[in-house]
Structure 1
Amino acid sequence: MNKKIALSLLSALILLPLLGCDQSSNEQQRRDTIDNNASVVDGKKSESNAPTSDANTAQLNTKGEQKHKEQLTAARSWDDIKRTGYIRALKLNFELEEALPRSYSAAAYHQSLLENFALEHQLTIKWVSAGSLNDMLEKLNTFQADIIARHLTVTESRASKIQFTLPVSSSREQLIIASHAPKPNLEQSQSITLLPGSSFIETVKENFPNWQIETFNGGVSSDDIANLLSERKVELTLLDESTVNTLLDYRQDIRVIKTLPAIKKQAWAIHPNAPALLQQLNNFINAHHLSSPTEAKRTADLDNIKKQKRPLRMITRNSPETYFLWRGELMGFDYDLLKEFAKRQGVPLQVIVADSYQQMQDLLNDGSGDVIAAGISRTEKRQKNSQFSIRYNRVNEHLIAHRDAAPITSLNDLNNRTIHVRRSSAFWMTLTSLQKKYSFNLVAADESLSTEMLIDQVDNRQIDLTVADSNLLAIEQTFRDDIVSPLVLKESIPIAYVVRENNPKLLTELNAFIAKEYRQVFYNVTKQKYFSDESQKKKLREERLLLGNQLSPYDDLVKPAAQAFNFDWRLITSQMYQESKFDPTAQSFAGARGLMQVLPKTASEFGFEQLTQPQEGILAGVTYLDWTRDRFDTKLPPQERLYFALAAYNTGFGHVRDAQKLAKQLNLRDDRWFNHVEKAMLLLQQPKYYKNARFGYCRGSEPVNYVRNIHQRYLSYLNLVP
């Protein structure tokens, strides 16, 4: 039998236990099947690892339902909100994991404003999901939430049902079509497809009364709408300008054919019977001078930015060192530092993504941004044209080689070797200086290749050598076993911020922030979060596979949890080993915790708080895996849906969707993981591809290896415990 066919049949057979159960049962029914007494660890009854009483178990089983099923018969008053310490805000299902903001994002802007409001009043936000705009309004009017904090267009019909705050933003509306579609004659009758329940329906009826209006099925995101346009499944739609601009940041397959002249006011909405809450929100809007989040290019200094409550605009790169999206969380060393700086200055932070240092300089100089924070090395050449802060970091320049390549012990060993770096990088200057004395080949790499991609090429033996700074080397060695740094080419290179010369107050405050925080607790914790080398720690972890018919110390907890959500318990055990090596106290660089390494924010969304308790940590992880599986099309083959769910668990649903879309563009199958979508996932490490992806940069090798390792270990577990 053909080997590939045999492997496919084996894969299908071993997945049969995963596919035999009806997946339509609701979460409460699943939880009710969990064994109340499943708390045996290493053959002994646990007294601390898991709740054992009926009351505790009942509490655990209903946590996920408490969040969204708070039954009230009246709107909560401001006093109720303050007393309970939280405000319930509605969010569309597809916004549970936001796209990577490259410039202004309406959804991110309004979410950050609500977070600032909550912070001022010492409140937490409990997000309530909704499937559509109509669902949002229904949940607000049935008291399931306190506020819709998004760019909701103010209309007379809506104002008769809900209470609007003062305007928070404004936007025009734009007609868009596919880039390759012919422009329609707008004077003639057209068919236009619109979001159900949106204000766009009223706009079209008013401006184009003869047009035929269709609506999208269910809750769709703006990205989904762009996909439908690009595929010519719909021909024409209407969206607000801010949403279109966000799409155009990373898509070239749609275009604007008309911008309607009317400026529409956008506001937040609450129930009409909450006047005190309305007053608090309006006070906040007035105090922060909120009216329009977008603005013309400006070169104002920090004092004017603070006075006018404008955002501090950070210019950076989408990269693993600076700014990226992981499991729905915006992260990055430079992003975290600037976010803290902006917080202390009392202004919001807005991120603008650029592709090169030259583009960063152009954005700074023309007033599109305020500060470059992208791991920029302060060199003599660059200082002639730019205003740098004092250093906030130091790095070394490391030569990168494959572990099995010819050894390099001194600079003399570089003779006749070949080094690839980008001509625009600071490494080029270092190497051209060294080339005066040593006879190595210096090759200008394609400017579209990031340093991490050049390291990947060394790892795969495609090129001989490259150069990287010590921060990126630390990140890469966390994920790669075959790269080494035989030489340090240059030591103690200062990394600094770049500002305009006419912004002395911003420069002074940045320098003061650096001087205060450099190598102090906040700085050290942030730096260690991203650049500590975990590879050695991973190698030293105990391989805690047990003998006999027990795979882990927590089999008796995993089995009922897996059964409740229609998973094979051996698969969950394999995933648990991959996540934590069976260590319930494990914590990742990003703060994911417990046996299944769930982020506290994500766990809280599902009603779990004690992630280091084995039973709760396992149930939180299985619940989250089930949630990721449910987000993929039920028409997918069940085993493929599971692979996609595992990949999404590791890196985030959005990155997997990006990979599916890219696979389709590359004539690969978007409904198969192995050898299809996983290939596209690997390409999302390359600027050429992630620049056009909604969720941006993704270390694609991580989810690819994650799914493969879990799958292979699962096969082994089936042999150990049939």
Structure 2
Amino acid sequence: MKRLLPLGMTIFLAACGDWSFTPLPFPTPAQHDLVVLTRGGPLTHQTDDAGNATGLEHDLAEAFAQELGVGVKYLVVAPEDMAKRLRSNDYHIAAAWLSPLPDSEIRATPPIFQTQDTLAQNDASLPLRELAQLSGKTVHAMAGSRQAANLHRLSLEIPDLAVVEVGHGDILDLLELLGNGQVDYVAMDKNLEDIANQFVPNLRTTLLIGEEQPIVWLLGDAPNAELAARANAFIDRIQRDGTLAKLEDRYFGHVRRLNQADVIKFLGQIETSLPKLRQYFQTAEAATGIDWRLLAAVAYHESHWDSNATSPTGVRGIMMLTEETADRLKVSNRLDPRESILAGARYINLLKDNLPDDVREPDRTWLALAAYNIGPGHFNAARTIAKQLKADPNAWFEMKRILPLLAKPQYYERLKSGRARGGEAVILVENIRSYYDILVRHEPQAQIATRVDGMTGGPGLKLKR
């Protein structure tokens, strides 16, 4: 990434062993890491089944460190410990979905996002219309969160408002308790609403709590001047050049596609239909390396896990293979779920292999799935259109805008491949992303050597007042 400021100044970077800070001049290759204070959560920092760290704040910190030319060391603290750690001097930036601290010496960057807190409740309960109705109610929030602090302030004004802080698990665990009727009200960040609706379809948000707040990086009470300037310039750049929009799309772009009925139906099918098919998906993962839950998500979107599905155009089976594709992959019976799932997985890998080497994940998978839907000929035509329009054909963020153009005469009339329903490919990919997210939360990763079909347990929630 390009340099944004003169490099003659210095920043303090953490020494590997002892948290003392040493000034390192740019552009000397850093021998120490940018130390990032964060906390676990879907918007901040979490680890997937393969041990890879993800999260919107995590990706932003990685991009900033890359621009600085340094590595990153994460200090992942419990939410209830965040306030104390912010007053320490053992980090460079705190990237944990935080707002500026009122009446504090701790400096902050310009706003990266805007957010607001909201009250969630089960849609079977009567909605609250005004804050005064919280009198006599018990509201849960994650310990140490902005929502908990806002609720405690409200409890000084609203009689008998009880606030319960949850000390373990994450906000999605807490919202699942809400969906199951084990708690009545949960205070949450409004930015999480669409993500949460994928997992808790009977959730509804009602009251807004407090004013809109900016999300910033906190830099401590005595940040190095160069580090602060570089952070501010980085945030300004990513907001202007589209980098931030692309990262937001990676985490939020697909989560508004499924409605409540879609999610409820899918969750029911996970309980009833998936157990009969799980072994076939896991066998295909062992053969191809594709996460079985992604294959299951593709199959659900294609056929709703119906092995006998047949479309008016002649595609058949649980993976809805064309006759041509089935012949190419030597499938003898498209209605055999074992054959169809394995062939579908192999076909996805072939489509991924057709992409240029510099296409990175997860874009590589999403682009391959678009080609799965409309065929490689139409997909390559869309890549050509993208290049003509100076869009990046290797980025799903760009191609989801380009693919619908295949249905417009001014574009498809110039193509050998002709017209295609590219918009349907976008819908397919985005729906599959949502189905996959749901399966990742509800189904364990396959242990290929010793296959596991059951659910794994996790730590229970610990509630404290």
What TM bracket, shorter-length normalisation?
0.5 to 0.7
The match for 1:570 among 337, 352, 357 is: 337
Report how far residue 469 of structure 1 moved.
Answer: 0.6
TM-score, with length taken from structure 1: 0.39
After TM superposition, list the pairs within 5 Å mapping 1:209-358 onto structure 2: 294-300=16-22, 303=25, 308-326=30-48, 328=50, 329-356=52-79, 358=81
Task: Check if 1:517 corresponds to 2:238.
Answer: yes
Report how far residue 311 of structure 1 moved.
Answer: 1.9
Q: CA RMSD in A?
A: 4.9
Report how far residue 490 of structure 1 moved.
Answer: 2.3
Indicate how the Cα distance of structure 1 residues 507 and 650 shifts in structure 2: closer, same or farther if over 3 A, else same.
Answer: same
Report how far residue 478 of structure 1 moved.
Answer: 3.0
Partner residue of 1:371?
Answer: 93
- Structure 1: 5+ residue runs without aligned partners? 1-115, 117-292, 585-591, 619-645, 661-669, 689-722
Report how far residue 493 of structure 1 moved.
Answer: 0.9
Indicate how the Cα distance of structure 1 residues 357 and 315 shifts in structure 2: closer, same or farther if over 3 A, else same.
Answer: farther
C-alpha offsets along residues 647-672 of structure 1, whole Å, 9 cap, x if unaligned?
Answer: 999649x9637999xxxxxxxxx865
Partner residue of 2:408?
Answer: none
Q: Distance in 1 between matches of 2:184 and 2:135?
A: 12
Task: Check if 1:614 corresponds to 2:337.
Answer: no
After TM superposition, list the pairs within 5 Å mapping 1:462-611 onto structure 2: 462-503=182-223, 504-518=225-239, 520-532=241-253, 534-537=255-258, 539=262, 546=310, 550-551=316-317, 553-556=320-323, 559=326, 569-570=336-337, 601=361
Amino acid at match of 1:396: Q
Report how far residue 366 of structure 1 moved.
Answer: 4.7
Indicate how the Cα distance of structure 1 residues 517 and 647 shifts in structure 2: closer, same or farther if over 3 A, else same.
Answer: closer
TM-score, with length taken from structure 2: 0.58
Amino acid at match of 1:379: L
**Does the aligned pair in 2 maintain the 1:593–1:612 contact within 8 Å?**
no
Task: Check if 1:431 corresponds to 2:159.
Answer: no
C-alpha offsets along residues 380-423 of structure 1, whole Å, 9 cap, x if unaligned?
Answer: 1xx52533222211111010111111222232433333211245
Q: Distance in 1 between matches of 2:326 and 2:29?
A: 58
**Does the aligned pair in 2 maintain the 1:305–1:311 contact within 8 Å?**
no
Q: Distance in 2 between matches of 1:602 and 1:616?
A: 19
Indicate how the Cα distance of structure 1 residues 499 and 602 shifts in structure 2: closer, same or farther if over 3 A, else same.
Answer: closer
Q: Distance in 2 between matches of 1:404 and 1:679?
A: 29
Amino acid at match of 1:340: A
The match for 2:116 among 396, 400, 420 is: 396
Report how far residue 461 of structure 1 moved.
Answer: 0.9
**Does the aligned pair in 1 maintain the 2:326–2:343 contact within 8 Å?**
no
Q: Secondary structure at the match of 2:108?
A: strand
**Does the aligned pair in 2 maintain the 1:398–1:485 contact within 8 Å?**
yes
The higher radius of gyration belongs to 1
Q: Distance in 2 between matches of 1:567 and 1:341?
A: 48
Q: Secondary structure at the match of 2:110?
A: strand
After TM superposition, list the pairs within 5 Å mapping 1:629-708 onto structure 2: 651=440, 656=445, 672-674=452-454, 678-680=455-457, 683=458
**Does the aligned pair in 2 maintain the 1:364–1:500 contact within 8 Å?**
yes
**Does the aligned pair in 2 maintain the 1:323–1:331 contact within 8 Å?**
yes
Q: Distance in 1 between matches of 2:461 and 2:187?
A: 18
**Does the aligned pair in 2 maintain the 1:562–1:572 contact within 8 Å?**
no
Partner residue of 2:134?
Answer: 414
Q: Distance in 2 between matches of 1:362 and 1:431?
A: 22
**Does the aligned pair in 2 maintain the 1:563–1:569 contact within 8 Å?**
no
Q: Distance in 1 between matches of 2:175 and 2:438?
A: 26
**Does the aligned pair in 2 maintain the 1:315–1:373 contact within 8 Å?**
yes
Amino acid at match of 2:246: V
Indicate how the Cα distance of structure 1 residues 516 and 658 shifts in structure 2: closer, same or farther if over 3 A, else same.
Answer: same
Q: Secondary structure at the match of 1:468?
A: strand
**Does the aligned pair in 1 maintain the 2:44–2:57 contact within 8 Å?**
yes
**Does the aligned pair in 1 maintain the 2:30–2:70 contact within 8 Å?**
no
Q: Distance in 2 between matches of 1:302 and 1:687?
A: 43
Aligned length: 334
Q: Distance in 2 between matches of 1:615 and 1:543?
A: 9
Q: Distance in 2 between matches of 1:297 and 1:687?
A: 32
Report how far residue 322 of structure 1 moved.
Answer: 1.2
Q: Secondary structure at the match of 1:420?
A: strand
Amino acid at match of 1:370: H
Indicate how the Cα distance of structure 1 residues 562 and 485 shifts in structure 2: closer, same or farther if over 3 A, else same.
Answer: farther
Indicate how the Cα distance of structure 1 residues 407 and 687 shifts in structure 2: closer, same or farther if over 3 A, else same.
Answer: closer
Report how far residue 334 of structure 1 moved.
Answer: 0.6
Q: Secondary structure at the match of 2:21?
A: coil
Q: Secondary structure at the match of 1:501?
A: coil
C-alpha offsets along residues 686-722 of structure 1, whole Å, 9 cap, x if unaligned?
Answer: 688xxxxxxxxxxxxxxxxxxxxxxxxxxxxxxxxxx
Amino acid at match of 1:330: A
C-alpha offsets along residues 19-44 of structure 1, whole Å, 9 cap, x if unaligned?
Answer: xxxxxxxxxxxxxxxxxxxxxxxxxx
Q: Secondary structure at the match of 1:374?
A: strand
After TM superposition, list the pairs within 5 Å mapping 1:17-32 onto structure 2: none
Percent of residue pairs identical: 16
- Structure 2: 5+ residue runs without aligned partners? 2-14, 264-299, 304-308, 377-434
Amino acid at match of 1:554: L
Indicate how the Cα distance of structure 1 residues 348 and 308 shifts in structure 2: closer, same or farther if over 3 A, else same.
Answer: closer
**Does the aligned pair in 1 maintain the 2:198–2:438 contact within 8 Å?**
no
Amino acid at match of 1:355: A
**Does the aligned pair in 2 maintain the 1:399–1:488 contact within 8 Å?**
yes
Q: Distance in 1 between matches of 2:184 and 2:125?
A: 8
Amino acid at match of 2:236: A
**Does the aligned pair in 2 maintain the 1:327–1:649 contact within 8 Å?**
no
C-alpha offsets along residues 154-185 of structure 1, whole Å, 9 cap, x if unaligned?
Answer: xxxxxxxxxxxxxxxxxxxxxxxxxxxxxxxx
Q: Distance in 2 between matches of 1:319 and 1:611?
A: 28
**Does the aligned pair in 2 maintain the 1:306–1:345 contact within 8 Å?**
no
**Does the aligned pair in 1 maintain the 2:43–2:57 contact within 8 Å?**
yes
**Does the aligned pair in 2 maintain the 1:341–1:513 contact within 8 Å?**
yes
Report how far residue 330 of structure 1 moved.
Answer: 3.3
**Does the aligned pair in 2 maintain the 1:315–1:371 contact within 8 Å?**
yes
Indicate how the Cα distance of structure 1 residues 484 and 440 shifts in structure 2: closer, same or farther if over 3 A, else same.
Answer: farther
Q: Distance in 2 between matches of 1:444 and 1:560?
A: 60
Q: Distance in 2 between matches of 1:326 and 1:450?
A: 14
Report how far residue 376 of structure 1 moved.
Answer: 1.4
